[in-house]
Structure 1
C-alpha cells in the first residue's frame, strides 16, 4: 500500500491532534446527534488534558459529524496542526473505540489500517426492468463503480449509470463494455465483479474487450445496491475479506524470495528500524497485531531519525530526542522515505516479532550515521 495520501499531513511540523470517532447515525438509541456530541465532549476533554491548544480543539469541533449524509456504520479520522484541519479521513468501519491524542507525531496507523487491503476493482450491477423479456418497453439498467476497497464504502468511486431500451441492449452493450474497460484501466482494476440479471449480464460479458473479460467474476447479487454506500458493498465484503491486493501479494512474494536467499530482506523490529534509518526499506510488512505496536521508539526531527534506545539516537548526534509509540514513528519513516506498507495476516505470513521489510538493496552500505545526524 502506498501512503501518499498522508504526505500533506507529514509536511506539517506538529504538534498534532489525532481524533478517531464513531459518527454512525444508523441504529443509535435515542438522538444520534446528541450521542455524538457527548462522545466529542469526552474526546475534547482528553485533548485538553494532553495539552491541546484552543485552535486544535476548534478545528476538530468544526468537523466532527460533518458526514451525516453517509448511511450505515462508519467513522472519522481527523488530524489538526497549529489550529488547522490538515487531514480528514472517512473510516469504512467505526473505530474500535473513540480516541484522541495530542503529540509531536500524528497517530495515523489506525487510519492506514482502514485503507487496507486497498484492492482496485470495478463493480457492475446489470438488471432488467420490465414485465418479461419480450416487453418492448423494458430497459436494462446498468450501474458501475470503480474504486479501491474498502474506501468506497464511504467515499464514492467513479460511477456510471445508464438505462438502455431492451431492443438496443445487444448493440449498446458493446459500447458500454468499452466505457467500462476505460474505467477499469484508469484505476488498474484487478477484477470486475459482475452481478444482476443473468441474461443481460451474459450479453455484456460477451461484448467486453478481451483484456477486461478475463478479469470478470460473475456472482449473484443478493439484493439491490444501497443508496449512499459503495455499490454491492455486502457482496464485495464477502469476496474481499482476508484478501491482499495483487500489488501487495507481489511484494510479499519478492520478500519471501529475498529472505530465502539471504538477500534484500530483513525481519524483526531491530533490523527493520536499522534499515529505515538508512532509507533502505522498499516495503514494510506488519502482522495485524504485531508486538512492536505497543513498544516505544526514540525519534528525532527527521523521519529517518528513529532508534530502539535514546542512547543510540544520541550517539548519532541527534539532540532533540523524544519517545514515541512505535506505530507513529514507523508510519512517519515510511512516508518520509517513500516506502510502502503491507498489513499481512499472521496466518498468511508469520513475521518474527510481527515485523519485516523488503529492502531496496541488500548491502547496508555506509554513511547511514551521516543521515541520522541532526
Structure 2
C-alpha cells in the first residue's frame, strides 16, 4: 500500500482525532446503533482531551455517513476543528477505534483498506476495449479504445477472393489488438494500478496480452468469464476478478517476506533488510525504507518513540530527537512515527501475517523493512 493519499495529514500539526467507524445496517435498528456508536466515539475523544470543535467535526462526519455508500465504513481524520481526510474502508472494523493522539492512527487502515490491490479490468472484443478500475472505492470508468470496425468477421467460403478478405480480417484483428495493448499500457501507467485482468474470448485475450509492454504483461492475468458485450457481467466474473486481486496481494507479501528473510543482518555481510525499532528509526531518518513491513500483533508497534515536526525527525530517545533539531519532541507510538516517515518518502507498506511457516514471528517485534540500499552491519 502506498500512502501518498495521506499527504494532507502530514501537512499540518496535530494532535489528531482518528475514528474507524462502521455505519451499521441501513434500517431503523441500524440507525439507532449508529447514533450510539457516534456518541461513544465522541465521548472517547473528549475523555482523551480532544477540543470541542474537532469533536463536533467528527460527529458531523459520522452522523452524515450513508451505510449504502460505505457499507464497510470509513476512517475519519480530524484536527483543528475540521475533518482533514476521510477514507473508505473495504472491510468493516471488528470494533470501533477512536483515538486522540499527536499523530494519526494509521495501522488499522492497513488491515481495513490497505492490502486490496488496485485492479485494471479490460473488457475486450475484436473492435476495441473498455477499461474499468477496481479498488477500495469501488469500480470506476478508466477509458476505452476503439480500433478498426471493418472487416472483423470471417467467411466460410474457400474462394480466393474470400480468402483474401479473410486475410484482411486477420490484419484488422492484429491491428486492433496492438491498439488495445498500447491503450491498456497507457491506462495502467496513468491509473497506478497494481495488476491487470483481461476479459474477452480466448482469441482476443492472448492477442492483446502478447503485445503488452513487459512490465504490464508480468502483472496481467486472464479470465475465461464475461466479455465486452452488454449483459455479459456475472457473479462468476466478479469472483474471478476478486480472486485475481487476492492472489496478487498474497504473492506480494510472500515475495517481500522471502526477500526479508534472505536479507536480514548476517555476521559478515551487508543487508537490505532490518527489523526492530532502533534500526528502523535510523533507516527512516536516512530515507532508506523501501517497503515497511507491519505485523499488527507485534509488541514493538506501541513502543515509545520521539518525533518532531518533520517526518524524518524520529528517534528512540528524546535527547536524540532534540539533536535532530526539534526543541520540544513529542512521544508517539513507533508504528505511527514510521508510517508517517514511510508516507513522506513514498515507501510501500505491507501487512504481514502473524507468523511464518515455522512458527517464528517475522519481523521480530512486528516491524521490519526492506531498504533502498544496503546497510553495513556494525562490527561486533
| TM score, norm. by length of structure 1 | 0.72
- Offset at 1:13? 0.7
Corresponding residue of 1:156:
139
Deviations 1:35-86 (A, max 9, x none): 2122111111111111222221222223225452745731111111111211
Unaligned runs of 5+ in 2: 154-171, 227-231
Contact 1:76 1:91 in 2 (8 A): yes
Of the structure 1 ranges 343-352 and 96-105, higher mean CA displacement relative to structure 2 is found in 343-352
CA distance 1:272–1:178, shift in 2 (3 Å) = closer
| Equivalent runs, 1:295-334 vs 2, <5 Å | 295-310=303-318, 312-313=320-321, 318-334=326-342
Which one is further off, 42-51 or 251-260? 251-260
Shift of 1:176: 6.0
Provide closer, same or farther for how the CA distance between residues 125 and 30 of structure 1 changes in structure 2, counting only shifts above 3 A.
farther
Deviation at 1:168, TM superposition (A): 8.7
Secondary structure (helix, strand or coil) at the match of 1:360 reads strand
Give 1:12 deviation, angstroms: 0.9
Work out the CA distance in 1 between the residues paired with 2:346 and 2:186: 29
Question: Match of 1:73, SS?
Answer: coil
Q: Is contact 2:142–2:187 with CA below 8 Å preserved after alignment? A: no
Residues 1:244 and 2:249 are matched in the alignment:
yes
Alignment check: 8 A CA contact 1:284 1:358 kept: yes
Q: How many residues align?
A: 338
CA positional deviation for 1:327 = 1.8
- 1:71-114: CA deviation from partner (whole Å, max 9, x where unpaired): 57311111111112111101011112112111211112222333
The residue that corresponds to 2:356 in the other structure is 347
Give the structure 1 partner of residue 84 of structure 2.
86
Closer, same or farther in 2 for the Cα pair 1:86/1:22, shift >3 Å?
Answer: same
Q: Which segment is superposed worse, 243-252 or 60-69? A: 243-252
Q: Which has the larger radius of gyration?
A: 2
Tell me the equivalent position of 1:184. Answer: 188
Structure-to-structure mapping, 1:57-206, within 5 angstroms: 57-64=55-62, 66-68=64-66, 70=68, 73-124=71-122, 144-147=131-134, 152-159=135-142, 174=177, 179-187=183-191, 189=193, 191-195=195-199, 201-205=201-205
Counterpart Cα distance in 1 of 2:332 and 2:120: 40
- The TM-score with structure 2 as length reference comes to 0.71
Match of 1:133 in 2: none
Distance 1:296-1:219 versus aligned 2 partners, 3 A rule: farther
Deviation at 1:209, TM superposition (A): 5.7
Give ranges in structure 1 of 5+ residues lacking alignment: 128-139, 366-374
| Distance (whole Å) between structure 1 residues aligned to residue 61 and residue 119 of structure 2 | 30
Is residue 18 from structure 1 mapped to residue 30 from structure 2 by the alignment? no
Label 1:337 to 1:126 Cα distance change in 2 as closer, same or farther (>3 A). Answer: closer
> In 1, Cα distance between the equivalents of 2:63 and 2:204?
41
CA–CA distance in structure 2, aligned partners of residues 71 and 141 of structure 1: 32
CA change 1:8–1:190 in 2 (3 A) is closer
Quote the offset at 1:15 in angstroms. Answer: 1.5
In structure 2, the CA distance between the partners of 1:161 and 1:339, relative to structure 1 (3 Å rule), is closer
- For 2:211, what is the secondary structure of its paired residue? helix
